[in-house]
Amino acid sequence: MCGIVGLFLKDKSLEADLGRMLSEMLVTMTDRGPDSAGIAVYNAHQAGRAKITVQADHPQTDFDGLEKKLGTAIGARVKMDVRDTHAVLTMPQASLDAAMAELRQLDPVIRIMGRGESIEIYKEVGLPETVVSRFDIAKMTGTHGIGHTRMATESAVTTMGAHPFNTGSDQCLVHNGSLSNHNSLRRKLRRENIRIETENDTEVAAAYLTWKLQNGSSLGEALESSLNDLDGFFTFVVGTKDGFGVVRDPIACKPAVMAETDSYVAFGSEYRALVNLPNIEQARVWEPEPATVYFWNH
């Protein structure tokens, strides 16, 4: 199974409630995937600054002095905000690649969850309710966000195997389903110098989109071509710095419900996830068509 929720706000006055709404939606999907949970939140960013979300098993010792160490290595000021096992490191945009290279040397003590100008990713093994409360997601503000609760099929239940996957700046992808050609596609993408960290099938789908985007495709085009190049079952929800997209494979056996009002676009694996949203009774509610790309932009 697996459960997906997503929320893309059109009404700025709802931004303060994004974390709360997304947390509630995710918890209703607990019985679709109690193994692990994760959430990507896109929020306001400072011009010229970039963020890297990192995770450590022993945050007290592993994060100790990390911002200074990283700041010295990249020759720039780094700010660190710790939330439970995760920390968000903020640095000048120009130093993002250098900081990523530096942090990769600390793997596996420090693991990179995501990077970009506005994205923050929090994911851990455990029930959605526990995960969202550990990171205090309910208090987060943002313009859009995606959540996932996992019932693992293709790789082990670990933090790195949890969704969302971030394989390019401000991009993220969550998945309900399973891919059958991920091993061959992973080898192909690695030959194209696309970095893939895990043996998970979903990360390959995320990396595939990153590769397409790097080669000049729009997100819409990349999602269209995924319908030809990815073999297996999938309902994907993807996020970019200012966009939110949905695509289902042509067989479309993995469930999906969408709702749209003047204030938001919402996605849920089931209607249950949407029932607490404001004015849901008046929303246009529909099931996304198979093999059809849906996309919204700010």
Partner 1 sequence: MEKLDLQALGLRALNEKLQNQTDETNQKDWEIINPRGSHAIAVGVDAPINVTVRGSTGYYCGGMNKQAHIHVDGSAGPGVAENMMSGTVTIDGDASQYAGATGHGGTLVIKGNAASRCGISMKGIDIVVHGNIGHMSAFMAQSGNLVVCGDAGDALGDSIYEARLFVRGSVKSLGADCIEKEMRPEHLDILRELLEKSGCDAKPEEFKRYGSARQLYNFKIDNAY
Task: Give contact residues for partner 1 (rule: CB under 8 A).
Answer: 250-253, 255, 257, 270-275, 285-287, 289-290
Q: Which amino acid is at 146?
A: I
> Closer CB to partner 1, residue 92 or residue 290?
290
- Output the smallest distance, CB 273 to partner 1, in A: 8
Among candidates 5, 11, 2, which has minimal Cα distance to 298? 11
Handedness of CA 131, 134, 135, 137 (dihedral sign): positive
| Nearest alpha carbon to residue 17 among 146, 118, 138 | 138
Q: Which is nearer to partner 1, 26 or 222 (CB)?
A: 26
Judged by beta carbon, residue 16 or residue 253, the one nearer partner 1 is 253
Q: Which residues fall within 8 angstroms of residue 184, CB to CB, at 6 or more apart?
A: none
Q: Distance between the two ends of the chain, CA-based, in angstroms?
A: 31
Provide the minimum distance between the beta carbon of 9 and partner 1 in the complex, in angstroms, as a whole number. 22
163 vs 254 by CB, closer to partner 1: 254
Q: How far is the CB of 39 from partner 1 (least distance, A)?
A: 21
Q: Smallest distance, Å, CB 280 to partner 1?
A: 9
Cα(178)–Cα(184) distance, integer angstroms: 14
Active site includes 253?
Answer: no
DSSP 3-state of 232: strand
Long-range contacts of 217-221 (CB under 8 A, 24+ apart): 219/243, 219/245, 219/295, 220/245, 220/293, 220/295
Active-site entry in 1, 2, 145, 233: 2
For residue 127, the minimal CB distance to partner 1 (Å) is: 19
* DSSP summary character for residue 204: H
**Least distance between partner 1 and beta carbon 232 (Å):** 17
Considering the complex, state which of residue 6 and residue 142 has its C-beta at the smaller distance from partner 1: 6
**What is the CA angle 118-120-126, rounded to 5?**
160
- Residue among 269, 273, 261, 262 nearest 288 (CA): 269
Measured distance CA(244)–CA(190) in Å, rounded: 26
Catalytic residue numbers read 2
